[in-house]
Amino acid sequence: MMTKFFAKCFMTVFVGTLGLGFSTQAQADDLNVNWLFAQKKLDCPSTCSQNRFIKYAMPTGYDKNLRKATFFICITEKKNKGWHPGFNVWGQNACTTTFDGEEYQGTSYFCLCTNNRSPKIFR
């Protein structure tokens, strides 16, 4: 059973991902994005920061108490179920999504990274 919080986060990620598309590189208003594989079990901010040109994780949610982005867009795959959008939490080494109505945390995932620290679409 999904919680209301998880359902809201999932819908935000899903709608945001559809808006950006699954292309390997998209460009809009000088915003470059690309999917990068999360290696060495790193979270999305750490994964993206290792890239020279697109070094910021694409945010999908903010923690009001911390006043910074803490949820990031990712995709993960479950065996023979296809790729599904989800979210990665700061410091977490998994992409959380749903499969067959249940929460799933994929440890093999891609992070959506950008060249812009504060993308206009999230301001």
3-state secondary structure of 49: helix
Q: Is the full-model pTM beyond 0.85?
A: no
Domain ranges of the chain: 1-11+33-107
Q: Looking at the predicted structure, is the pLDDT value of residue 43 above 70?
A: yes
For 38-59, what is the mean pLDDT? 89
What was the pLDDT predicted at 24? 44
Kindly calculate the radius of gyration of the chain based on its CA atoms and give it in whole angstroms.
Answer: 13
What average pLDDT is seen over the chain?
77
Residues 75-118 have pLDDT tens digits of 999 877 789 999 999 888 999 998 888 899 999 999 999 988 87
Q: What span, in angstroms and rounded, lies between the C-alpha atoms of 89 and 97?
A: 12
How far is C-alpha 47 from the chain's CA centre? 11
DSSP-based helix, strand, coil % in the chain, nearest 5: 20, 40, 35
